């Protein structure tokens, strides 16, 4: 399968590391000189740009957190004057102040190149028609994928999120071959197609590129069976650049290649901040090494993953991160047990053969945490017999207890009772006042 | 063909039942009988209607989960012991009633009982041997 940027993507490791060091040194020197936040934080840690003599020295550099970005809202993290900024994106700000990021013309070009690499890794080429259901707007997904598709030379349909019935009509009539979007929205799309009597078997898709929220292997099985395509995971976040930080290759679908000539990835223990050895799961930390407007140094993503340095059959030499398993801030502590929504999802799909439309509700009654798992019923699960429905609830609750060690009440709800978002799924409602 | 029942998953929420019956009303479906089995969180509404296809279609379109089940509908004579005439031969052969409900036959004085047994085929055979009339889907539609 063709590799878009073959020189960089298949470069021997020594070459990758040499480029990384040179670009890292430049980036560190630049942010120290231009962004007061970094100067202050490096000074406090006793770090000078000239101290970075090897990639290993990066571990002495302080982390950057989401809170740091909020404190410098909106533009104080920018490393270039506004005259050079050609684009601004922002996070949704659902958990606080939004974080604002900027791009120079060259940043936009680099990003388009990274997204073109990503499309190519997913099996797309210039002959493809890309149905881009990532939201266009402040969210980086829509425009990020759009520019990458154009750079690849493919035909992009800028359909964005929402207006789902019209999307189905477009899929039927325009015959797109590549589908992009958040997995929860794509599942919603599949449901609506079903309601409209449209079978994906009759559509033209060959690959799906899904991301912007963690999704599981069982969800991949489900999506591939339903949509008749190969599904690959794309990863990115606006603080680092947007989508196109890493992607799975279609050949292996086993770990996401991090584009290491643009980003340095580390995995740390979220509690101690220590770097973890390859293979161990921890918090993903990124440093951008080519960005001009919004360079980011050792950004704590709160995403959980591990690194796999073994060479990949696809030929890319860039390190792979395992499919993100969740986020440190998604992690619920219920009666002292760490619970990730994705773990519950796996139980639902494996033991209940249930579509992943679920929501976790956590509450505290009489000083005791309670977990309610709401699961939408569908025709394959439904029975006219109350007993068998109750048995199903009990079986799922039992399996959750077995797998996660936490008691849960399972509650069947009507189809579509759980709100569908056009972007990311709301999986957790925490009513505890902690 | 045996009578068929429509079942609908309903959350335990105010006004939910009225919503379902309004959907059926707007689809011009006539309800012959209904029963609601409930738990604290949800219920299953079981319905005998004059047009199953129409009812199922209308409810699905509004996003409800709908199932269809074959049931045994039996006319029971309106006199003491009428129900035992039907039940006795069944329980004596170890058949178990999963659920049942009744409605009045508008064309006669007798009641019609709707049964779901754990072993449907066996129940049907016993009733036929006893020459107890099992009402067909057509008869239900034309009541």
Q: Are A415 and B116 an interchain contact pair (Cβ–Cβ within 8 Å)?
A: no
Phi, psi at A326, each rounded to 5°:
155, -170
Q: What is the CA radius of gyration of chain B?
A: 16
Structure tokens at A188: 């919603």
Q: Using CA atoms, how far apart are residues B53 and B50, in angstroms rounded to an integer?
A: 9
Q: Report chain B residues whose CB lies below 8 A from the CB of A416.
A: 63
pLDDT digits (tens, 9 = 90+) for A345-376: 888 887 766 666 889 999 888 777 889 999 98
Structure tokens at A432: 């505890």
Q: Using CA atoms, how far apart are residues A265 and A256, in angstroms rounded to an integer?
A: 12
Nearest Cα neighbor of A3 from A87, A122, A141 is A122
Which class does domain A1-325 fall in?
Answer: alpha beta
Looking at per-residue pLDDT, the higher value among B34 and A433 belongs to B34
Domain ranges for chain B:
4-70, 72-141
Q: Using CA atoms, how far apart are residues A395 and B70, in angstroms rounded to an integer?
A: 27
Three-state secondary-structure class, residue B45: strand
- Which residue reads 């990124």 in tokens? A286
Could you report the average pLDDT of every consecutive run of 10 residues in chain A (434 residues)? 94 96 97 97 96 96 94 96 97 72 98 98 98 94 97 97 92 97 88 92 97 86 94 96 97 97 96 94 96 98 94 96 83 79 83 77 84 89 88 91 88 84 72 70
Q: Rounded to a whole number, what is the distance in Å from the CA of A392 to chain B's nearest CA?
A: 13
- Which residue reads 């299953």 in tokens? B44
Q: Using CA atoms, how far apart are residues A368 and A374, in angstroms rounded to an integer?
A: 19
Q: Rounded to a whole number, what is the distance in Å from the CA of B34 to chain A's nearest CA?
A: 13
Q: Using CA atoms, how far apart are residues B39 and A391, in angstroms rounded to an integer?
A: 12
Structure tokens at B94: 């170890």
Hey, is the C-beta of A411 within 8 angstroms of any chain B C-beta? yes
Q: Using CA atoms, how far apart are residues A220 and A215, in angstroms rounded to an integer?
A: 8
CA A238 to chain centre: 10
Hey, is the C-beta of A129 within 8 angstroms of any chain B C-beta? no
Kindly state the percentage of chain A with pLDDT values over 70: 96
**ipTM of predicted complex:** 0.81
pLDDT at A77: 97
The CATH number of the structural domain formed by B72-141 is 3.30.2130.10
Q: How many CB atoms are closer than 10 A to CB A94?
A: 9
Structure tokens at B57: 């279609």
Q: Rounded to a whole number, what is the distance in Å from the CA of A192 to chain B's nearest CA?
A: 11
pTM of the full structure? 0.72
Domain A332-430 coded CATH 3.40.30.10 = no
Length of chain B: 143
A427 Cβ contact list (under 8 Å, min separation 6): A330, A341, A358, A359, A360
The CATH number of the structural domain formed by B4-70 is 3.30.2130.10
**What is the C-alpha end-to-end distance of chain A, expressed in Å?**
51
Cβ atoms of residues A174 and A386 within 8 Å: no
Domain ranges for chain A:
1-325, 332-430
Hey, is the C-beta of B64 within 8 angstroms of any chain A C-beta? yes
Q: Is residue B108 pLDDT above 80, yes or no? A: no
Q: Are A384 and B66 an interchain contact pair (Cβ–Cβ within 8 Å)?
A: no
């Amino acid at each position: 399968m063709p590799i878009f940027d073959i020189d960089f993507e298949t470069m021997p490791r020594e070459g990758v590391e040499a480029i990384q060091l040179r670009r890292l040194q430049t980036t560190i020197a630049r942010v120290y000189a231009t962004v007061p936040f970094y100067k202050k934080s490096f000074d406090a840690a006793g770090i000078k740009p000239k101290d970075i003599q090897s990639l290993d020295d990066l571990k002495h550099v302080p982390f950057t957190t989401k809170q740091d970005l909020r404190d410098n809202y909106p533009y104080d993290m920018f490393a270039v004057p506004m005259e050079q900024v050609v684009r601004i994106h922002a996070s949704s700000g659902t958990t606080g102040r939004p974080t604002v990021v900027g791009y120079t013309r060259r940043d936009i070009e680099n990003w388009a190149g990274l997204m073109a690499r990503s499309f190519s890794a997913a099996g797309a080429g210039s002959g493809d028609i890309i149905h881009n259901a990532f939201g266009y707007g402040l969210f980086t997904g829509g425009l990020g994928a759009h520019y990458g598709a154009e750079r690849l030379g493919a035909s992009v349909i800028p359909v964005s999120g929402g207006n789902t019935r019209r999307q189905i009509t477009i899929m039927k009539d325009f015959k797109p071959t590549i589908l992009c979007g958040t997995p929860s929205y794509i599942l919603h799309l599949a449901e609506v197609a079903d309601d409209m009597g449209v079978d994906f078997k009759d559509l033209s898709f060959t690959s799906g590129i899904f991301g912007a929220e963690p999704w599981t292997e069982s969800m991949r099985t489900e999506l591939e069976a339903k949509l008749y395509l190969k599904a690959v995971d794309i990863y990115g976040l606006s603080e680092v650049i947007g989508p196109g930080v890493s992607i799975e290759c279609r050949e292996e679908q086993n770990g996401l290649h991090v584009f290491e000539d643009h980003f340095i990835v580390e995995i740390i223990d979220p509690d101690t901040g220590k770097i973890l050895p390859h293979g161990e799961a921890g918090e993903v930390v990124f440093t951008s090494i080519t960005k001009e407007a919004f360079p980011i140094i050792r950004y704590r993503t709160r995403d959980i993953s591990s690194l796999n340095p073994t060479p990949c059959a696809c030929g890319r030499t860039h390190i792979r991160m395992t499919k993100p398993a969740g986020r440190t801030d998604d992690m619920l502590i219920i009666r002292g047990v760490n619970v990730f929504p994705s773990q519950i999802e796996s139980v639902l799909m494996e033991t209940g053969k249930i579509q992943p439309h679920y929501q976790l509700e956590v509450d505290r009654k009489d000083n005791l945490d309670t977990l309610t798992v709401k699961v939408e019923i569908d025709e394959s699960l439904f029975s006219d017999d109350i007993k068998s429905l109750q048995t199903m609830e009990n079986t799922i609750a039992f399996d959750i207890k077995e797998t996660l060690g936490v008691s849960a009440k399972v509650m069947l709800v009507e189809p579509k009772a759980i709100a569908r978002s056009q972007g990311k799924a709301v999986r957790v409602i925490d009513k505890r006042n902690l | 063909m045996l009578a068929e029942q429509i079942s609908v998953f309903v959350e335990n929420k105010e006004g939910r039942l009225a919503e379902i019956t309004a959907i059926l009303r707007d689809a011009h479906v006539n309800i012959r009988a209904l029963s609601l089995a409930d738990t604290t969180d949800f219920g299953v509404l079981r319905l005998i209607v004059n047009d199953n296809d129409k009812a199922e279609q209308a409810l699905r379109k509004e996003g409800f989960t709908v199932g269809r089940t074959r049931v045994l509908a039996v006319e029971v004579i309106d006199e003491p012991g009428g129900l035992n005439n039907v039940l006795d031969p069944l329980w004596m052969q170890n058949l178990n009633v999963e659920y049942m409900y009744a409605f009045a036959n508008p064309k006669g004085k007798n009641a019609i009982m709707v049964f779901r047994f754990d072993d449907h085929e066996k129940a049907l055979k016993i009733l036929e041997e006893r020459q107890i009339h099992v009402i067909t889907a057509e008869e239900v539609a034309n009541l």
